[in-house]
Structure 1
Amino acid sequence: MAFLSRLKQGFGNTFSFFGDSWAELKKVRWPSRKELTSYSAVVLITVIVVTIYFWLLDIGISELVQLIV
């Protein structure tokens, strides 16, 4: 009997978690299409800039290692 009560309590906590999560999602202010587009552009530009930075850094370090070796 103790096992069944623990099992029931565990499922109750799971259902409570999903119910609370759904309630919190209703409170979220979702971005408009214009905001989403501008945020996505900022992220893509940032990723491209950081990628180029590390690519150049990698080339520089590789050249230094080649000179040392």
Structure 2
Amino acid sequence: MFKFLKDVNREMQKVSWPKGNELTKYTIIVILTVLAISVFFTVVDLGITQILEWL
């Protein structure tokens, strides 16, 4: 188990963590993408509901 934890620690040191500016930019991109997809699916859902009501 200790060997595993040492290996994990060694691998985590190789990870390239984003800087503050990058993290902010990526967070904004993710939030905007989620909002855009939510709006898209809301419009599609409303459209399908309207079509089914007409039938």
TM-score, scaled relative to structure 2? 0.90
TM-score, scaled relative to structure 1? 0.73
1:57 correspondence with 2:44: yes
Count of aligned residue pairs for this structure pair: 55
Q: What value does the CA root-mean-square deviation take over the aligned residues?
A: 1.0
Deviation of 1:15 after TM superposition, in Å, equals 2.9
Deviation of 1:24 after TM superposition, in Å, equals 0.5
Q: Which one-letter code corresponds to 2:20 in the other structure?
A: R
In structure 1, the gaps of 5 or more residues are 1-13
Tell me which stretches of 4 or more aligned residues in structure 1 moved more than 3 Å: none
Quote the sequence identity (%): 35
